[in-house]
Structure 1
Amino acid sequence: MKNDQRMPGRRALLRLAAGLGTAGALRVIAADPAGTPVRSPAPERAGAAGPSSALREAHSSYRLAPMTAGASPHFRPAAPPVRTRPFERLPELGRAMVLTFDDGPDPRYTPSILATLREHDVRAMFFVCGETADEYRDLVREIAADGHTVGNHSWTHPLVTRLSLAGVRDELGRTSEVIEKATGTSPVWYRAPYGAWDRNSFEIGADLGMEPMAWSVDTLDWTEPGAGTIVRRVRDGAAPGAVVLSHDAGGDRSQSVSALRRYLPELLDHGYRIMVPRRR
């Protein structure tokens, strides 16, 4: 399985994606058991908040209750206007961060990641590839049963900017169908492979009922830099509304598993909430 950073020229693709324009605001509700809705403004350029070495404040850790409400009907169109940029940060979630895992599920690594999230009673987002999700539907069901968000990451992980309209619809549509068959709910979030977005993917994603989610903290775990380096990148990028990109498939993800066990309790101990966004 390819990874989001492995394609040559990825930085150029990300610059292209970031220059596609500014989207109108989307109402995003945090899955907060306190019941306080939080609105997100239009997304900012990835990394705009800059690295933070903080993790200084020590507050009581937040534990997120499972999301059990708000299931969407089959392919309900996303609320207009159609995005022209993906969400990269969610700063108005307060002192909260979003953890995301791409390319799975993988029976070698996904269960360990789920176990760590379960141990700390937090929820994350898993952007699954359709061909893998179809093979491991039980794992997709387990992800959803634990209260995590299952997002669409295309069927075969192609560069969608090189696909026809029909090709983009097939990649996203087939994956949404597999997710719905496995979980009973069609996905409401999707992520373009390699972070490469174009008008077709935004419009077709919206037509299939999904909003685009990118990231602001890239762990580059696919390069296998060592668990310590992954931990440092998360720690340095920690900030209100940060969206962290990691992987639970597509190669040897043992370092990603080990790093999560280290940085997750650290984030919680320093007062960060781990949340998943939810479209209203």
Structure 2
Amino acid sequence: MRLGIKKPPSAGLLVVAVLLLLLGTTARDSDRVTRAANPATRAPVAPVALPAAPSPSAAPSVSPTPSLPVRPGDGVAGAFATTGTSAVALTFDDGPDPINTPKLLALLRQRHIHATFCMVGFRVRDRPDLVRQIYADGHTLCNHSWQHLLDLAKRDPAYLDWDLRHTNDMIRAAVGADVPIRYFRAPGGNFTPELVAKAKSLGMDSISWDVDPRDWEHTHDANASAHISRVVNAVQHHVRPGSIVLSHDNGQPNTITAYDQLLPWLQERFTLAGLPPEGLSG
């Protein structure tokens, strides 16, 4: 009978065991190195603030294109009461008149003077021949509403739009569809900011005046001669460089006589010109 004595491990087995031990240690060390090199396997680290990148050189500033100066109205509700230059503008309202307008045109033509005619729409409709003559003589055209309602500014917006557009349509029907109409005058000078804005939306500057000889008012004059003298004196006393002078050709024969006297006096002292075709607001 044999005793139960274990045989010592063979030398080959010992060699294998040592090799496996060495391989395990090497694998653990390699894993530590790999994890140290791979950020994805490292413990999170608080971010480090990096210095701000230098800002690129600022682009050179470009000045905006200067816009043309806009001249504000110097009259009631933003209308224009003066020309803004040394020129004096003679303005004639309420026509065209079949008798007085041709006489006035003849006076102006004789002295090579240009004026501004503020015309009523239904009269333009009835006398397009006179409108054509006014335009052919180089005078400035102005919309004076369709039927000269003194309370025009109180009418509803739809009516205002129709009134001003229809008057312009009648003027253009007489002189040409492409002719600019740059001016509007409210009947009686009864401007409001809303009416001025409506005219502006249709391309028209609103014009008032700073000289009013009240040539339409005859009540206090003893006779025609006294009326003419009063009109002449009023214009001569109040006109200044840049004035817009209000007068009337419709139904006012004495006004024509007054200007027969006034035109040479004015022309010796002032530059007389129609309002510019580009408008007064710039």
TM-score in terms of structure 1 length: 0.68
Deviation at 1:202, TM superposition (A): 1.7
- Provide the residue aligned with 1:188 in structure 2: 182
% identity of equivalent residues? 33
Aligned-partner residue type, residue 244 of structure 1: V
C-alpha distance in structure 2 between counterparts of 1:143 and 1:40, whole Å: 29
- Provide the residue aligned with 1:218 in structure 2: 212
- Provide the residue aligned with 1:277 in structure 2: 275
- Provide the residue aligned with 1:86 in structure 2: 79
Equivalent residue pairs, number: 202
Query: Where is the helix percentage greater, Structure 1 or Structure 2?
Result: 2
Structure 1, unpaired ranges of 5+: 1-25, 28-38, 47-83
Structure 2, unpaired ranges of 5+: 1-66, 222-226
1:92-241 equivalences under 5 Å are 93-94=85-86, 96-158=87-149, 159-184=151-176, 185-224=179-218, 225=221, 226-241=227-242
Q: Are the equivalent residues in 2 in contact too, given 1:40–1:90 (CA < 8 A)? A: no
Aligned-partner residue type, residue 99 of structure 1: L
Aligned-partner residue type, residue 166 of structure 2: R
Deviation at 1:41, TM superposition (A): 4.2
Aligned residues: CA RMSD = 1.9
C-alpha distance in structure 2 between counterparts of 1:45 and 1:107, whole Å: 31
Question: For residues 141-197 of structure 1, what are the alpha-carbon distances to aligned partners after superposition, in whole Å with 9 as ceiling and x for unaligned?
Answer: 000000001100000111212200011111111000011111111411010001111
Q: Are the equivalent residues in 2 in contact too, given 1:165–1:200 (CA < 8 A)? A: no
- Provide the residue aligned with 2:51 in structure 1: none
C-alpha distance in structure 1 between counterparts of 2:193 and 2:70, whole Å: 22
Matched, 1:265 2:264: yes
C-alpha distance in structure 2 between counterparts of 1:275 and 1:263, whole Å: 15
**Could you say if the C-alpha distance between residues 40 and 112 of structure 1 is closer, same or farther in structure 2, counting changes exceeding 3 Å?**
farther
Question: For residues 234-254 of structure 1, what are the alpha-carbon distances to aligned partners after superposition, in whole Å with 9 as ceiling and x for unaligned?
Answer: 1011211000000011x3x11
- The partner residue of 2:72 within 25, 30, 42 is 42
Question: For residues 179-234 of structure 1, what are the alpha-carbon distances to aligned partners after superposition, in whole Å with 9 as ceiling and x for unaligned?
Answer: 11111114110100011112331222112111101100001000134111110011
Aligned-partner residue type, residue 105 of structure 1: P
C-alpha distance in structure 2 between counterparts of 1:198 and 1:154, whole Å: 14
C-alpha distance in structure 1 between counterparts of 2:83 and 2:272, whole Å: 12
Aligned-partner residue type, residue 86 of structure 1: A
**Could you say if the C-alpha distance between residues 207 and 256 of structure 1 is closer, same or farther in structure 2, counting changes exceeding 3 Å?**
same
Question: For residues 45-83 of structure 1, what are the alpha-carbon distances to aligned partners after superposition, in whole Å with 9 as ceiling and x for unaligned?
Answer: 58xxxxxxxxxxxxxxxxxxxxxxxxxxxxxxxxxxxxx
C-alpha distance in structure 1 between counterparts of 2:147 and 2:71, whole Å: 32
Deviation at 1:42, TM superposition (A): 3.1
Q: Are the equivalent residues in 1 in contact too, given 2:75–2:208 (CA < 8 A)? A: no
Task: Tell me which of the two structures has the higher relative contact order, counting C-alpha pairs closer than 8 angstroms and 6 or more residues apart.
Answer: 1
C-alpha distance in structure 2 between counterparts of 1:145 and 1:189, whole Å: 18
C-alpha distance in structure 2 between counterparts of 1:43 and 1:166, whole Å: 25
- Provide the residue aligned with 1:256 in structure 2: 255
Q: Are the equivalent residues in 1 in contact too, given 2:78–2:193 (CA < 8 A)? A: no
Q: Which has the larger radius of gyration?
A: 2
C-alpha distance in structure 2 between counterparts of 1:140 and 1:40, whole Å: 30
TM-score in terms of structure 2 length: 0.68
Question: For residues 3-48 of structure 1, what are the alpha-carbon distances to aligned partners after superposition, in whole Å with 9 as ceiling and x for unaligned?
Answer: xxxxxxxxxxxxxxxxxxxxxxx97xxxxxxxxxxx88434358xx
